[in-house]
Structure 1
Amino acid sequence: MSFLKNHPFAVEAHFKSTIVLTYALPKTQLESLLPKCLTLDTHNDKWAFVAVALVQTENLRPKGFPKFMGNDFFLAGYRIFVRYTNNAGKNLRGLYILKSETDKKKMAFFGNIFTHYNYTATDIKLSETDENINIYSNKSDLKIELRKNENAHLPKGSVFEDWKTARRFAGPLPFTFTYNELNNEVTIIEGVRQNWIPKPIEVLKAEIGFIKQEKFKGALLANAFINEDIPYHWKKGKTEIWKGL
C-alpha cells in the first residue's frame, strides 16, 4: 500500500495565512540531508536554505469535494530549498520535506497515509492582534513573536542584499519532491496558488527547537514573509524512476 503515500489524488485548501522564516547555512552543511536525486538551491553558490513554514489551513479536502468535508488545522513545516532535473530534462525548483507538525492528530494520521511528509502531532498555538502574531509550542520548543510591518528591515546578518533577492526564497515553491530509495522513485507534487503576494514581516523572537539541532548549528535567519487569504491546491503526484547522472 506504499503507493498511497505518493499523493494519489488532488487536494485543495484555503490558507488563512502562511508565514515563512528562512534560515541560511553553508551549502556543505545541508548537502548530506538530501537524497541523491536532489541538489541544493543556493544563493551565490554558497548559501543553502531551510524554511520554517507556519500555515493556518482551512477546508483541506480532496479537490472537488464540498468545503464542509474539509479540515482546519495549523501546520509547521520544515523544508530545504532544492532543485530536481526530471526525466524530460526540465530543471524544477521546489522543496524537500524534512518534517511536518500539526495541531490535529487526525491530520497527522491521514497525512502519514497519503504523503511522505513525516507528520507528528504537537501542541502548537497561534494568537494575534491587529499588529502582532505569536506562535508557541511547548512540545516542539517553539516561541515565535512577529510584528506585521511591510517596512521591516531584513533580519540582522541576513545573507541577502535586499528584499527583492530574499523573495526568491520566500516559499512555498511550485514543487515538492519525495524520494523512495528502495525503488529509486521520485514523486513530484505541484502546487497551484492564487493571490500570492509575499510581504515582509518583522521577527521579534524566533526560538525554534527544530533549528536548534546540531546539524543546523550556526543557521542565520535570512528573511521572513507573510501571505494571507490564499486559495491553494496540489495536483495529483507524478512519480518517475530517477535515471541518475
Structure 2
Amino acid sequence: MPNPGPAYTAFFKDKANAPFVHDILYNITYGIDVPLLENSTSTIKQGAPAIICATKPGQVMWRDVDGVNQDGYTDCLQAGAAGHALLGIRIIILCPDFFSFPVQPPRSKSQCLTVDPQHTNQFEGDGFSFSRYQIWVLLHELAHVYIFVANGGLSDFYWVNECLNLPANESLMNAQSFNYYVANLFLGCIDLPQVGANTPSGQASRVELLETDDNGTVAAANMTRARNWTVSDVEVFGAYNGTESP
C-alpha cells in the first residue's frame, strides 16, 4: 500500500523499514534457502530451515558453549515452550506442547485483541492468545531464523504492549512483532492502539509499560523462544531419527 496500515504503524512504525518487513515475510512464505555459517562442518551449506518434532528424548542433541550435552526434548519440557530455534544452524524444534495447540484461530475479528479503553495506546492483556496456535508458533520461530540470517539480530520481547513499545529498528529484530503484525492482518483487526498518541489528562503515561510489564527477553512465561547458538559454539551430534545430521 502507498501508506502504512494500522497494524504496520503499531508494530513497525517507520515506513522506511517496510522493504525489510516484506523480505522477511516473503522468505518465510516461500521457504527461501538460508546459508549455514562458513565454519560449519556440514556438507549441506544452504537450504530452508529444518523443522524437527521433539516427541521423545534423543531425537536432537547438541553440546552447548560449556560442552554440556543438551537434549531438545528435555529442553522443551524444562522451558515449557512450544518451540524454539537454534540460530545459525537453521534448526527449529517443535515441542510436545505445540501439538496440543489448534492449527489456527477462526478467521474472524472476534479473535482480535482489545484496546484498553483507559489507555488507548495499549492493548488489554498480554496478547498470548495470539500465540497459542500452531501457525503463530511456526511464524515466530521462522521469523527468528530469517531475521538472524538477514542482520544477525535477536530480540524476543513477547508481551503485546512490549512489542508496541519497541523502537522501530528493534522491532525489526523481534520475531513476535512480525507475529502480531501478521495475526492482525489475518484476522482483519482494524481497532489498534494509537501509537504515540497523547495521553488523556489524568491517565497514566506510556512509560508505565516499562514499569509494569515483564520486559525481560526470553522470559519464562514465553510460549516460544529462541537461542542465539551458532555452529561455532554448538556441536550437533544427533538429529531427527539418528540417521540424518544437519
Q: Normalising to structure 1: TM-score of the pair?
A: 0.22
- Higher RCO (C-alpha under 8 Å, 6+ residues apart): 2
Of Structure 1 and Structure 2, the greater strand share is in: 1
Of Structure 1 and Structure 2, the greater helix share is in: 2
Larger gyration radius, structure 1 or structure 2: 2
